[in-house]
Amino acid sequence: FSVSQKASISLLHSMLRHQETTFQKDDRFYTIVKSGQRPIAAIVSTSSARFYKTLYHQATLTLPLGMICSIIILLVWSRTHREFNSPGRLLHRALNKRQLCVHYQPIIDIKNNQCVGAEALLRWPGFNGQVMSPAEFIPLAEKEGMIERITDYVVEEVFSDLGHFLAAHPDLYVSINLSASDFHSSRLIALISDKARFYSVRAQQIKIEVTERGFIDVPKTTPVIQAFRQAGYEVAIDDFGTGYSNLHNLYSLNVD
């Protein structure tokens, strides 16, 4: 090695024998960088006071920046997590994965104690570990604009489950609950009629129920109800007396 005339040879040799690239000696910090190909080494020395001052300055500059970045990442992750797991998104994914299920409650004729049909009841299992009823998630579906998808889902499931059975048992029927907004257009009449023809199910075997608390716009709803009846489907009001209907509206709607 070539060294300066002012350098201490013994000190340099002792430093070069160090395995560490950075070490402290006599209240000073040394950093050694050796060449792997040439007999060259660079040694940088600084006082301990200056070393700690520089280290503190770098730490105070880097730490807040790192904390700010961490907070931003945490906030972005938290918002994304909330949106991904919001009730609306969960319901949307449940529909896409066909996780909603239809249960069938028998309908008994109290005159002869015989089963004459069944009511299709939609349930949402697995939300927060509980089974949700339509009273809980149908308002959510209406708010999220998914009510048509849910109604179509129920109609498809009912005919897939019971289509062939109803065709083989013409004396039985199934009752399907619809949202009040489903009666704002005649779209469902065509869908149900197509399914009934495909499975050879008579219109009299499909009964339509709607909760009367949704019948606010009677003039808009009445023509669709009449179209259902003219197509051969009975229309009934479910839970009459719990919502907005009165006897005058009941007469105007002309349901079965």
pLDDT tens for 109-126 read 999 999 999 999 999 886
| The pLDDT of residue 130 | 76
- Which is nearest to 17 in space by CA: 41, 37, 38? 41
Alpha helices in the chain, H assignment, sequence order: 9-16, 48-84, 87-96, 134-143, 147-168, 187-199, 218-230, 247-253
Mean pLDDT of 63-73: 67
| The pLDDT of residue 81 | 57
Confidence of residue 73 (pLDDT cuts 50, 70, 90): confident
Q: How far apart are CA 218 and CA 221, in angstroms?
A: 5
Cβ-proximal residues to 26 (8 Å cutoff; 6+ apart), any chain: none
Residue 199 pLDDT exceeds 50: yes
What pTM was estimated for this model as a whole? 0.62
Q: How far apart are CA 217 and CA 25, in angstroms?
A: 90
Segment among 7-11, 21-25, 204-208 with least mean pLDDT: 7-11
pLDDT tens for 33-61 read 776 776 666 666 676 667 666 766 666 66
pLDDT tens for 134-178 read 777 888 888 888 888 999 999 999 999 999 999 999 999 999 988
Mean pLDDT of 19-28: 66
Residue 195 pLDDT exceeds 90: yes
Residue 248 pLDDT exceeds 50: no
Residue 247 pLDDT exceeds 90: no
Average pLDDT, rounded, for the chain: 77
Q: How far apart are CA 93 and CA 187, in angstroms?
A: 24
CB 131 within 8 A of CB 123: yes
> What is the DSSP code (8-state) at residue 110?
T
| The pLDDT of residue 156 | 95
pLDDT tens for 180-190 read 788 888 889 99
| The pLDDT of residue 68 | 66
Sketch out the chain's domains with CATH numbers: 9-59 (no CATH), 98-253 (3.20.20.450)
Q: Give the SS3 label for residue 111.
A: coil
> What is the DSSP code (8-state) at residue 37?
S
Residue 93 pLDDT exceeds 50: yes
Q: Which residue has the tokens 């994914």?
A: 93
